Structure 1
Amino acid sequence: MASSMIHLNPMARGYTYKPAPGETGKATDESIVLAFHQSLPSYNETTLHTLPAVAVALGLSHVLVKDESNRFGLPAFKILGASWAAYRAVLTALGLDDKQQATAATTLMSVAELGSIARDRGLRIVTSTEGNCGRAVARMAKYLGLPVRVFVPEYMSEATRQKIRGEGAEVLVVKGTYEDTIPIIRKEAKEMKESVLVLDVGLDGYEVVPKLQYFVEGYSSMLAESDKQVPELTGGNAATHAVVPCGAGSIAQAVAQHYKAAERQAQHGSAMVIAVEATTAASLKTSLGAGQPTLVPTADTIMNGMNCGSLSTLAWPVLSQGVDASVVVSDQESHSAVEELKSSGILAGPCGAATLAALRRVCADPRARSALALGSEAIVVLHCTEGARDYLIPS
């Protein structure tokens, strides 16, 4: 361990991600999913910014920021996973998710056609959220023309609830935390046969959507775009490091799978993956230290999208082997990173800016820096997963 704020995971250096039996190869998955996203209304390829001054200050070759502040008109990356997951979940509910549709982009049913069939069957979508994911699922339900119920914890702000309602969703407030919403939506999905449950985490008793990695596969479009963009900014070189927020773990799992995939390593060599969490919700760092998934108590943080006390049961096997370092940062560090990115014209929220804070932390620690090969040839991609939003500035 380099410091109390950093956990190094040396075993990840030799890790190669290989799809489990029954999964298709990731390169094929990425092309299929990207084609799906390109078919949706208002598809846009998000910007990859360069931070030359930060790279010079930290002694790195390039520091790049994949900016997810405007994805399909929403201020976060979640719509990528939510749209693909909801699409595939509805296909499955209708008995239409056969092998041909799963392996060839040309055979994917259009969203309009799928929505028409689903409406005739009276289907509706049910989900639970702490923020961006619920809004993203609601947006996909709107694309499909299906009703959607979104269960939220009572601490969610009214402004956030209104944004979800603005997508046409019915919002139901549950007393307690996010975890308290889970048994309620499970019961509804079980009792109401027309309800299609869509969640972005793997839970005991609910693993159908995550097991097939629908959310994780959905995030691959962001990574496919980035792989194309990075060489354009670096003289033809690929990324050597990726920094990604880790809440429940799905986006970090997607990044680890992508950068540790056998095909990518054969073409570009291995890349380091650094996950960042809030000091108040360090479930991955704690779990890596314990060698097993570990539930941790959480507290309020401006990085509320990362305020998760447990990891997805399906993300853990990849994270435990594929994440090279887990870093925790404070609210103050995240806020400072928000301001730093703003000065460079990048409007980030605290979760997205936390990646820059994490990079600064590991570069300031000689042992971590050496172990992670953060030298003059390093090309680092920061995955800025959310745009600017209101939050209480830490004192």
Structure 2
Amino acid sequence: MTATPLPVRQAEARHAHNAAARPTLTPEVEALLTEAEHQAARREITSWPGYAPTPVVGLRGVAAAAGVAEVLYKDEAHRFGLGSFKALGGAYAVLRLLKDILAAEGHGDVSAQDLIAGRLRDRVARETVVCATDGNHGRSVAWGARMFGCACRIYIHENVSEDREAAIAAYGATMVRLPGDYDASVRAAARDAEANGWHLVADTNAGGGSDRVPNLVMQGYTLIVDELIDQLPEPPTHVFVPAGVGGLAAAIAGRWAVRAGAERPRIVVVEPLVADCVFRALRDGVPRPVEGDVNSFMACLSAGEVSPAAWPILKAVADDAVAIPDGLARETMRRLAHGAWGDAPLVSGESGCAAVAALLAAGADDALREALDLGREARVVCIGSEGATAPDLWAEATGLRPQDVTGEKTPA
């Protein structure tokens, strides 16, 4: 099946190369993603009920359209039934915080399975975890709070969809909707957590706080790389990964550098044009907040400030950033849903499709293709960060329901 080219002009997708990127991590940066911490996260997460590696889907039609040898899509829509990669990070950080509290009180032997089974239920229930979210991180934190037994408050901004809010509230979280954008909700969550003695489980410390919790969140995400290395028949040449505050991109880039050293793939970070904080930081060598409205169709990438915890890793081993327009993401999502390039129809969300959209933009732009060294022999992994986490919005944009594609009774 032949699909018409995507309606993207060369000027619409912008590229920045990171002149500071290195083939390998320095010891100082590698210390942010230690092997011991990774293995701790791996042991915990793989022990949780429902754990399984998410699938890798071959997209031969997309590869042909982009002019590369292979495109493999890591489909995070299936992660623990939460619909996104975020299930790995927020819930793991909740667990670690609770274990630290209990260890300080003489319960150093408590495990995730103990908490799931209700051990120390009354004690754990006195703790409250808090975060701000565009949807997916808050869902993970709320899920983790319910699984391990503590209370939860989730801060959302005025543009978070009602179906994303309902999906979080279904896990028993108290929802707090505020005016403003994502970055404003981050600051509000940090302020209220400090004032009330709650535990901030943030995927960024741009709103204040230490690096520790965002680093725990990123450690959870690093499991994606280990799964991919086990799943892929040969190493990729490129990895396209979406970024909001940069935690996922940093985890992917950093862990691959740890595992592969100088043989690591080229890391291409993808963002919305209107929320291009990582793009600007890599271009300029220093992160600065994006001013103005950063709300994007790619809702979970609508962030205007790079996480300080993620920045040292991104600066070291994120090679490029590509910023794309909302229209390109929307059309890519629709075409993936309809199998427009001849591949099996795929449920990829507004942010989940960003990596594929950027790859297709590069395939349509000779200058961008050359800048990314994206030759005909390139083997590309696209991190599909989410499925239809806002099912009504997805249906409106694609003309389908998620279950029409998946055959499931409820969306992934």
TM-score by length of 2: 0.83
Give per-residue Cα distances to partners, 1:264-316, cap 9 Å, x unaligned. Answer: 126xx131000111111111112222221121123432101011111101211
Supply the distance in 1 between the matched residues of 2:358 and 2:162 (Cα, whole angstroms): 30
Q: Shift of residue 365 of structure 1?
A: 3.1
Match of 2:3 in 1: none
Q: Is the 8 A contact 2:41 2:92 kept in 1?
A: yes
Paired residue secondary structure (1:94):
helix
Q: Is the 8 A contact 2:243 2:278 kept in 1?
A: yes
Matched ranges for 1:195-214 at <5 A: 195-203=198-206, 205-210=208-213, 213-214=215-216
How many corresponding residue pairs? 375
Match of 1:256 in 2: 253
Matched ranges for 1:24-63 at <5 A: 25-26=34-35, 28-63=36-71
- 1:148 is the counterpart of 2:152: yes
1:277 equivalent among 248, 267, 271: 271
Supply the distance in 2 between the matched residues of 1:198 and 1:288 (Cα, whole angstroms): 26
Give per-residue Cα distances to partners, 1:297-346, cap 9 Å, x unaligned. Answer: 23432101011111101211221232111111111211221123221221
Match of 1:217 in 2: 219
Match of 2:361 in 1: 361
Alignment gaps of 5+ in structure 2 = 1-9, 399-412
Q: Is the 8 A contact 2:348 2:387 kept in 1?
A: yes
Match of 2:405 in 1: none
Supply the distance in 2 between the matched residues of 1:298 and 1:253 (Cα, whole angstroms): 24
Match of 1:66 in 2: 74
1:168 equivalent among 167, 172, 176: 172
Supply the distance in 2 between the matched residues of 1:179 and 1:300 (Cα, whole angstroms): 11
Q: Shift of residue 11 of structure 1?
A: 3.5
Supply the distance in 2 between the matched residues of 1:54 and 1:24 (Cα, whole angstroms): 33
Q: Is the 8 A contact 2:336 2:348 kept in 1?
A: yes
- 1:239 is the counterpart of 2:236: yes
Q: Is the 8 A contact 2:211 2:309 kept in 1?
A: no
Give per-residue Cα distances to partners, 1:55-105, cap 9 Å, x unaligned. Answer: 23433221100001121111111010112111112223334599xx8xxxx
Q: Shift of residue 201 of structure 1?
A: 0.4
Match of 1:12 in 2: 21
TM-score by length of 1: 0.86
Match of 1:104 in 2: none
Once the two structures are aligned, what percentage of the paired residues are identical?
29
Supply the distance in 2 between the matched residues of 1:361 and 1:227 (Cα, whole angstroms): 26
Quick one: structure 1 residues 117 and 24, their matched pair in 2 at CA, closer, same or farther if it must change by over 3 Å?
Answer: farther
Supply the distance in 2 between the matched residues of 1:354 and 1:317 (Cα, whole angstroms): 23
| Larger displacement relative to structure 2 (32-41 or 273-282) | 32-41
Supply the distance in 2 between the matched residues of 1:23 and 1:161 (Cα, whole angstroms): 32
Paired residue secondary structure (1:280):
helix
Supply the distance in 2 between the matched residues of 1:223 and 1:201 (Cα, whole angstroms): 20
Match of 1:234 in 2: none
Paired residue secondary structure (1:14):
coil
Supply the distance in 2 between the matched residues of 1:132 and 1:299 (Cα, whole angstroms): 18
Q: Is the 8 A contact 2:242 2:248 kept in 1?
A: yes
- 1:293 is the counterpart of 2:290: no
Letter in 1 for 2:321: S
Q: Shift of residue 204 of structure 1?
A: 5.7
Give per-residue Cα distances to partners, 1:173-225, cap 9 Å, x unaligned. Answer: 223223333443334322333x22211102364114346x1011000122211
Q: Is the 8 A contact 1:94 1:118 kept in 2?
A: no
Letter in 1 for 2:111: M
Q: Shift of residue 347 of structure 1?
A: 0.6
Supply the distance in 1 between the matched residues of 2:251 and 2:176 (Cα, whole angstroms): 30
Match of 2:375 in 1: 375
Paired residue secondary structure (1:45):
coil
Quick one: structure 1 residues 352 and 22, their matched pair in 2 at CA, closer, same or farther if it must change by over 3 Å?
Answer: closer
Paired residue secondary structure (2:380):
strand
Q: Shift of residue 15 of structure 1?
A: 4.2
Match of 2:349 in 1: 349
| Larger displacement relative to structure 2 (340-349 or 72-81) | 340-349
Quick one: structure 1 residues 62 and 224, their matched pair in 2 at CA, closer, same or farther if it must change by over 3 Å?
Answer: same
2:194 equivalent among 177, 190, 213: 190
Quick one: structure 1 residues 111 and 23, their matched pair in 2 at CA, closer, same or farther if it must change by over 3 Å?
Answer: farther
Letter in 1 for 2:279: K
Quick one: structure 1 residues 206 and 229, their matched pair in 2 at CA, closer, same or farther if it must change by over 3 Å?
Answer: same
Q: Is the 8 A contact 2:29 2:313 kept in 1?
A: no
Supply the distance in 1 between the matched residues of 2:33 and 2:310 (Cα, whole angstroms): 18
Paired residue secondary structure (1:126):
strand
Quick one: structure 1 residues 56 and 96, their matched pair in 2 at CA, closer, same or farther if it must change by over 3 Å?
Answer: farther
Q: Is the 8 A contact 1:199 1:209 kept in 2?
A: no
CA RMSD, Structure 1 to Structure 2 (Å) = 2.6
Q: Shift of residue 24 of structure 1?
A: 6.6
Supply the distance in 2 between the matched residues of 1:281 and 1:345 (Cα, whole angstroms): 28
Letter in 1 for 2:316: Q
Give per-residue Cα distances to partners, 1:118-161, cap 9 Å, x unaligned. Answer: 64152121222121111110000011021111122233233222
Letter in 2 for 1:327: V
Q: Shift of residue 260 of structure 1?
A: 2.1
Q: Shift of residue 393 of structure 1?
A: 4.0
